[in-house]
Amino acid sequence: MKRAIPIGLGLFVSTVGVFANGGGYQRGGAVGGDVAGFEPKATENVRILDEQLTARVGPEAAEVEVRYLMRNETAKKVKVRFGFPVDETPGDEAIREDGTFVPPSGVPRHCQNYQLTAGGQAVKAKWEPEPKPKAGTPPDKRLAGLRGWFVSELVFAANEEKPVLIRFRSGYAQSGFHVSDNGTMSRAVLTYRLSTGACWGGSIARGRVVLKPVGIDPAELKVLGPVNRFRKEGESWVWNFENLEPTLADDIQAEVEPEVKSFSGEGRLNHERNGRWYYTSTDYTAKASSVLPPQDGKTYGPENLTEHPGVWSEGAPGPGAGEWLEIRPKSAKPLLALALSPGFQKSPGLFQANARPKKVTMILNGEHKVHAEIPDAPVTCRIPAGGYDKPVKTIRLVFDEVWPGTKFEDLCLSGLWLEVKLAKKPKESPVR
């Protein structure tokens, strides 16, 4: 569909050649009935008047929301059949001990919890896997790597304007390689194929794309393409456009996390990130504004944070907004970042049942403040030191807002690590 994948971060169909209205990924051959795989229908009759895409870009996935205003450009009732394409991308596959790949199964992590509404009403989406080309058949380059489609139908009355909303959670294209402690994790890339908008009628009248960092270092979120389209607004990247006839040159790629190399050396595990060396440490003492009293022989003090998922839980009345932790490193050194695991991560049920941090303020040495937003997911988030180079003696973490729990008001944290800067590349130990 021209825009059937309008929200294709990390999930897209590669298209080649010249786009035209009603084109983009049609296969042809529909009259003879010999088309294998999904084919859009009547999308050329509907125009996108407005598209508002927001991706809350987190450590392991982006929460994507796309709001459209669509209009039937004809004076008759139209039923549109369109599909949201989902690719197989690095990270979907697993590797067996013999080195062979395990093919992905089910819906990939790049399009989880897909939801579609039109006019405020839920619309069904059917998963249709993309058939593999028959032996001896030349591959269609547009469909290379395509795993399947979420296919739906929308009905428009004559000249009707209809709001359409799509939401999903998109993982990133990323792969890793490890030998013992040594390894490399590739950069994480978020992809959005705006070019597929060519399957709908006319140009996209107006649009806005926002890439908002949440729980990651805003300085590490980089737009790889298209060049010279996005502008910074605060910590977000924003692209506003009008009367866009999308082509391959408009497809969006963003680097969420840089390549990270790890190796053992000098008695610890070291990491390189954007040319900066560091190691993670739990060599600190901690105190809290409050602590939940022991229950069933289990304690919830801040000392538990040095062992993931050893949980700290505050014990004040209410959901925990305004509570704090104070961390004192045993050796004062400059920090690259503070890493934390929000919520009670022992199980998915406990994570949802208890409160989690939503917005926090990190204060280094009582003088340098960094504000950060934490995604509502059981992941590890990084709060960068923001260029603060002094040795850090104290870190106060204030929980300004929280995600409420479904059962308990207790605000929880399941781990906290210091990313300690290294002045130079450490010596590497031999691989075991």
Q: What is the pLDDT of residues 43-79, one digit of tens each?
A: 999 999 999 999 999 998 999 999 999 999 999 999 9
At 213, the amino acid letter reads P
Burial 375-389 (b: 16+ CB within 10 A, else e): bbbbbbbbbbbbebe
Lowest mean pLDDT: which of 138-142, 373-377, 389-393? 138-142
**Contact predicate 368/421, CB 8 Å:** no
Query: Average pLDDT, whole number, for the chain?
Result: 84
Residue 238 or 103, more confident: 238
**Contact predicate 51/67, CB 8 Å:** yes
Q: Are residues 232 and 130 in the same domain?
A: yes
Give me the pLDDT at residue 369, please. Answer: 97
Question: For residue 98, what is the domain's CATH number?
Answer: 2.60.40.3680
Which DSSP category does 423 fall into?
S
Give me the pLDDT at residue 317, please. Answer: 93
Q: Are residues 213 and 143 in the same domain?
A: yes
Residue the block writes with tokens 């180079």? 389
Does some domain include residue 67? yes
Does some domain include residue 29? no
Q: Are residues 214 and 304 in the same domain?
A: no
Domain count, the chain: 2
Q: Are residues 221 and 326 in the same domain?
A: no
Q: Are residues 251 and 361 in the same domain?
A: no
Does some domain include residue 14? no
Task: Convert the pLDDT of each residue in 230-263 to its tens digit.
Answer: 999 999 999 999 999 988 788 889 999 999 998 8
62: left (phi over 0), alpha (psi -120 to 50) or beta: beta
Of 395, 235, 415, give the one whose Cα is nearest residue 342.
415
Does some domain include residue 69? yes
Residue 11 or 293, more confident: 293
Of 416, 306, 307, 312, give the one whose Cα is nearest residue 354.
312
Of the residues 258, 288, 320, the one at which a domain ends: 258
Q: Are residues 201 and 332 in the same domain?
A: no
Whether the per-residue pLDDT at 302 is higher than 90: the answer is: yes
275: left (phi over 0), alpha (psi -120 to 50) or beta: left
Does some domain include residue 1? no
Q: Are residues 184 and 298 in the same domain?
A: no
C-alpha 120, offset from chain centre: 25
Q: Are residues 292 and 246 in the same domain?
A: no
Of the residues 193, 228, 258, the one at which a domain ends: 258
Q: Are residues 164 and 234 in the same domain?
A: yes
Does some domain include residue 7? no
Does some domain include residue 18? no
Whether the per-residue pLDDT at 157 is higher than 70: the answer is: yes
Q: Are residues 159 and 48 in the same domain?
A: yes
Mean of pLDDT values over 367-372: 96
For residue 239, CA distances in Å to 159, 208, 287, 352 come to 29, 6, 44, 34
Give me the pLDDT at residue 417, please. Answer: 96
Whether the per-residue pLDDT at 93 is higher than 80: the answer is: no
Compute the radius of gyration of the chain from its Cα atoms.
Answer: 24
- Domain span including residue 226: 43-258
Give me the pLDDT at residue 135, please. Answer: 80
Give me the pLDDT at residue 12, please. Answer: 33
Whether the per-residue pLDDT at 100 is higher than 70: the answer is: no
Confidence of residue 10 (pLDDT cuts 50, 70, 90): very low
Spatial distance between the Cα atoms of 372 and 188, rounded to a whole number of angstroms: 20
Mean of pLDDT values over 106-118: 79
Q: How many other CB atoms are found less than 10 A from the CB of residue 280? A: 16
Q: Are residues 295 and 364 in the same domain?
A: yes
> Which 3 state secondary structure label does DSSP give 123?
coil
Confidence of residue 165 (pLDDT cuts 50, 70, 90): very high
Confidence of residue 180 (pLDDT cuts 50, 70, 90): low
Mean of pLDDT values over 119-137: 87
> Which 3 state secondary structure label does DSSP give 97?
coil
Question: For residue 340, what is the domain's CATH number?
Answer: 2.60.120.260
Confidence of residue 272 (pLDDT cuts 50, 70, 90): very high
Does some domain include residue 121? yes
Give me the pLDDT at residue 112, please. Answer: 83
> Which 3 state secondary structure label does DSSP give 184?
strand
Q: Are residues 344 and 196 in the same domain?
A: no
Question: N- to C-terminal Cα distance for the chain?
Answer: 51
